[in-house]
Amino acid sequence: MDKLLVALDVDSGARAMELATALRGLVGGVKVGSRLFTSEGPALVRGLVEAGSRVFLDLKFHDIPNTVAQAVDAAVGTGAWMINVHASGGVPMMEAAARAGRDAAARLGRPAPLLIAVTVLTSMDQPTLHATGVDRPIIDHVVALARLAQAAGLQGVVASPQETAAIRQACGDGFAIVTPGIRGAAAGSRKDDQARTMGPAEAVRAGASFIVVGRPIIAAPEPRGAAEAIVRELNQTQ
């Protein structure tokens, strides 16, 4: 199921490789975030790619345009299939990321990665967003950031499943929407630190291009079995 991405939020590269191997052929890719990347570095990403996994490198770059461009250039060198930045970094930063992704891929003779932007973290609710100085409703803020990302030349965004339908309406069918915050029967009912959640099939019906599931799969006694349950639910939406 290409739409299902599994977050490898584990302590070691060995465990990440074990999970990726167990899930290969069943899921659409794996996500490497800050925890694992800080522990294991780009070599792990290259190893996952060489072993046949599509890797979403979830480092949420957010800095001045030149620094982000350099980071994206380095990320492309790992072979990552998808890379993200923070939309709140602004249009010039996102434009620099888009250019760097295209240029690095051309230089290395490989397909350009999918460059996407994080809108509002799924751990944030309306009071939390308001405390940062943003007064408009979350859904309005998310859609506005998605429009900026699209205008800057990025191919998609990360947003909670609750905003997916509005983004799809605003940005069209060709715009990728990656949704974490997936919970429900097959994906596990605990919210943990997620504030804005939805079930797997419900998120896809709302217009998600990809859903990201971590703990409900990787913490399960049999991760592949847990992933298979989610795939069965997703197949019912087709």
Q: Give the torsion through C-alpha atoms of 212, 216, 218, 221, to 10 deg.
A: -160
Query: H-helix or E-strand containing 118?
Result: strand 114-118
CATH number corresponding to 4-235: 3.20.20.70
Q: How many CB atoms lie within 10 A of CB 188?
A: 20
Extract the tokens encoding 147: 């429009």
Low-confidence ranges of the chain (pLDDT < 70): 1, 183-197, 237-238
Cβ 16 vs Cβ 8: under 8 Å: yes
The rounded distance, in Å, linking the Cα atoms of 102 and 111 is: 8
Cβ 237 vs Cβ 207: under 8 Å: no
Cβ 56 vs Cβ 29: under 8 Å: yes
pLDDT in tens, 66-91: 999 999 999 999 999 999 999 999 99
87: left (phi over 0), alpha (psi -120 to 50) or beta: alpha
The rounded distance, in Å, linking the Cα atoms of 6 and 217 is: 7
| Domain boundaries of the chain, sorted by first residue | 4-235
Buried b (16+ CB within 10 A) or exposed e, 23-50: bbeebbbbbbbeebbeebebebbebbee
Instruction: Tell whether the torsion through CA atoms of 33, 34, 36 and 41 is positive or negative.
Output: positive
Backbone angles phi, psi at 85, to 5 degrees: -130, 175
The rounded distance, in Å, linking the Cα atoms of 89 and 179 is: 20
Question: What's 169-206 look like in SS3?
Answer: HHHCCCCEEEECCECECCCECCCCCCCCCECHHHHHHC
Provide the annotated active-site residues: 60
Residue 185 has a pLDDT of 46
Cβ 74 vs Cβ 41: under 8 Å: no
pLDDT in tens, 90-133: 999 999 999 999 999 999 999 999 999 999 998 899 999 999 99
